[in-house]
Amino acid sequence: MHAQRTFLWLIAVLLLVGCETLGIPKPESFKEKLAFGYATVTSVRQSATTLLTAKKISADDAQHVQDQANNARTGLDVARGLEKTDPKAADAKLTAIRAALTALQAYLVSREKS
């Protein structure tokens, strides 16, 4: 049951990545982008766990992904805090975090295929 649920989360991550390439509207406002970022952190964490369970990544690799997800979560929290006082800095921080999360997702997708 647990393996099926985590597999479904992996599929959800793949769909999120695929939606962008299909032209489905991307989040536009800062709050939408922030929410998408938090959802992506959750998806990355769950995908790493699924891949570890399937023995597609090592425990060290899974821990590295979790550490990067922690860093991204912290960055999102910082961006959220900056929004009211320095919107440009908040947006720049959010853009950087989203780029890092996209790279993590791409890595996890590549490991699923191997």
Torsion sign over Cα 14, 17, 21, 27: positive
Give yes or no for a contact between 43 and 105, defined as CB atoms under 8 angstroms apart: yes
pLDDT of residue 6 exceeding 80: no
pLDDT of residue 19 exceeding 60: no
pLDDT of residue 11 exceeding 90: no
pTM: 0.77
pLDDT of residue 51 exceeding 80: yes
> Angle 95-105-80 (CA atoms, 0-180°, nearest 5)?
30
pLDDT of residue 29 exceeding 60: yes
pLDDT, mean of residues 35-61: 96
SS (H, E, C) 75-88: HHHHHHHHCCCCHH
pLDDT in tens, 90-104: 999 999 999 999 999
Give pLDDT, residue 81.
97
